Amino acid sequence: VSSSLETPRERLLRKARVQIWELVGERGCRVELLNAGARASLFRCFLRGRCSVIAKVYCKSTKGARHEWDALRFLAAHAPLIAPIAPRPLERSKDGRVILMEDLEGETLTSLLERDGGLDAKRPLLRVAHALGLLHGTAAKCLNMLPRSLRNEYIRQSDESETLRDRVRALLQRAAVAPAAGFDIAWQELVERLRSPGEFLTFTHGDLAPSNVLMTADGPKLLDFEFAGARSSLYDALFWEAIVPFPRALARAMTQKYRDTLTGDIPKARDDDRFRHELSTLKTHRLFWSLTFRLDHALASRDSDWVPGWPLRPAYLFYLRNYVVTCRRLDSLEPLLQTAEVLYARLRKQWAENASYPENFMRGARRTS
């Protein structure tokens, strides 16, 4: 019964409950809210016979909702080997907003990384890297089975990079950094490289974050396929190479593990030059793209955080340093690398802050790596 005294959470639960009951065909079963996000909310429903399922309820019928369902179906149906990497899809509402899937038991990487300063994280992380290598390698062989909705992500990204260049140039200007000679030509090469991942083209998760990885007794499982699609496999490796600020030695070990596994299905990944070329392409795109997220805020004030416990300026300095240090040895797009180096030097001089890790992030592991 609706009431004006309802809290937003109660209202969300009441509305979702009706949709979920309809879909599972069990009116009155217990429905628990797990997580309320901006685009979707997650529920656990307890069915008769003591089994439970997860319902993901999107606020709108978006492209993301469709990608998630298509990705889960692809993983379950066309590549039996890789099916266990994700929850089994069970049912979807007619409007596409509600997705029912298998309820997996496990611990998210978020909680694992918080435990004991991340001291226990290395082995599980290497398992994730291995599982990802298997997923990418297996999926690369059945790309012709990929649903149409997921096929062109890499082309879209390449197209968007054409306009990204102008936004990056505007930001550089605000930071009083002149792009290195040959910047535009190198950028055009970046656009073309993104468009032609060659042997590395595969099904990617697209949003790897610690909260989207569940460690189960049956190995690591990936959740949340809203941004899934065909891309260079190394897009997902950015998870540890360029997004989560893992200690460098750990990130290197994950890439090694990942690459060893990937090589089983994509022999080209064994070729050092080719692998570096691909990794530097993806890292370069990520670095410049990430400048457009919040660099303008960071230039204007020192007050906001990248994530809680990690102010914007130390975070940007961390990412820039990580990029210039690791891409110096890769097959880099020289003028883009030089520009990032100049930007890094300028911001270090201009800001009082230093590059740092997020407060308390993997403290234990940082000491030992």
Residues of span 222-251 touching ligand ADP by CB under 6 A: 223-224, 226
* Binding-residue total with ligand ADP (CB under 6 A): 18
The residue of the chain with the least Cβ separation from Mg ion equals 224
The half-sphere exposure of 303 on its side-chain side, counting CA atoms within 13 A, is: 2
CB of 208 to Mg ion, least distance (A): 10
The entry of ligand ADP, Mg ion, none that residue 191 binds, CB within 5 to 8 Å by partner kind: none
Q: Which residues lie below 8 Å from residue 40, measured CB to CB, with a gap of 6+?
A: 56, 57, 58, 59, 64, 65, 226
51 vs 249, beta carbon nearer ligand ADP? 51
Its sign, for the CA torsion 244, 248, 249, 253, is positive
224 vs 278, beta carbon nearer ligand ADP? 224
Residues of span 201-220 touching ligand ADP by CB under 6 A: 211-212
Identify which range of 79-87, 132-140, 220-228, 344-352 contacts Mg ion by CB under 5 A: 220-228
Residue 226 as a binder of Mg ion (CB under 5 A): the answer is no
User: What tokens does 314 get?
Assistant: 């130390």
Contact 235/204 with Cβ under 8 angstroms?
yes
What distance lies between CA 208 and its chain's CA centroid? 3
Identify which range of 29-37, 177-185, 264-272, 318-326 contacts ligand ADP by CB under 6 A: 29-37
The entry of ligand ADP, Mg ion, none that residue 161 binds, CB within 5 to 8 Å by partner kind: none
Distance separating alpha carbons of residues 47 and 24, to the nearest angstrom:
8
To which H or E segment does residue 355 belong?
Answer: none
Q: Which residues lie below 8 Å from residue 25, measured CB to CB, with a gap of 6+?
A: none
Identify which range of 53-61, 95-103, 210-218, 312-320 contacts Mg ion by CB under 5 A: 210-218
Nearest 5°: the CA angle 110, 112, 118 is: 105
Residues of span 87-116 touching ligand ADP by CB under 6 A: 87, 101-104, 108
| Closest among 100, 105, 79 to 88, alpha carbons compared | 100
Residue 34 as a binder of ligand ADP (CB under 6 A): the answer is yes
135 vs 253, beta carbon nearer Mg ion? 135
Contact 239/208 with Cβ under 8 angstroms?
yes
The entry of ligand ADP, Mg ion, none that residue 179 binds, CB within 5 to 8 Å by partner kind: none
From 31, 40, 234, 315, residue interacting with ligand ADP (rule: CB under 6 A): 40
Distance separating alpha carbons of residues 232 and 235, to the nearest angstrom:
6
Residue 212 as a binder of Mg ion (CB under 5 A): the answer is yes
Distance separating alpha carbons of residues 199 and 203, to the nearest angstrom:
12
From 68, 70, 153, 224, residue interacting with Mg ion (rule: CB under 5 A): 224
Q: Please report, for residues 73, 225, 253, 296, the alpha-carbon distance to residue 20 in angstroms, rounded to integers and kept in the order given.
A: 20, 20, 43, 42
206 vs 314, beta carbon nearer Mg ion? 206
The entry of ligand ADP, Mg ion, none that residue 152 binds, CB within 5 to 8 Å by partner kind: none
* 179 burial via Cβ count (<10 Å: 0-12, 13-18, 19+): buried
How many C-beta neighbours within 10 Å does residue 80 have?
10
62 vs 211, beta carbon nearer Mg ion? 211
| Closest among 71, 49, 55 to 228, alpha carbons compared | 71
CB of 229 to ligand ADP, least distance (A): 16
129 vs 208, beta carbon nearer Mg ion? 208
Residue 70 as a binder of ligand ADP (CB under 6 A): the answer is no
Residue 37 as a binder of ligand ADP (CB under 6 A): the answer is yes
Residue 35 as a binder of ligand ADP (CB under 6 A): the answer is yes
Identify which range of 160-168, 175-183, 218-226, 234-242 contacts Mg ion by CB under 5 A: 218-226
Distance separating alpha carbons of residues 197 and 293, to the nearest angstrom:
25
Residues counted in the chain: 369
**Site for ligand ADP, rule CB under 6 A:** 34-35, 37, 40, 42, 54, 56, 87, 101-104, 108, 211-212, 223-224, 226
**Site for Mg ion, rule CB under 5 A:** 211-212, 224
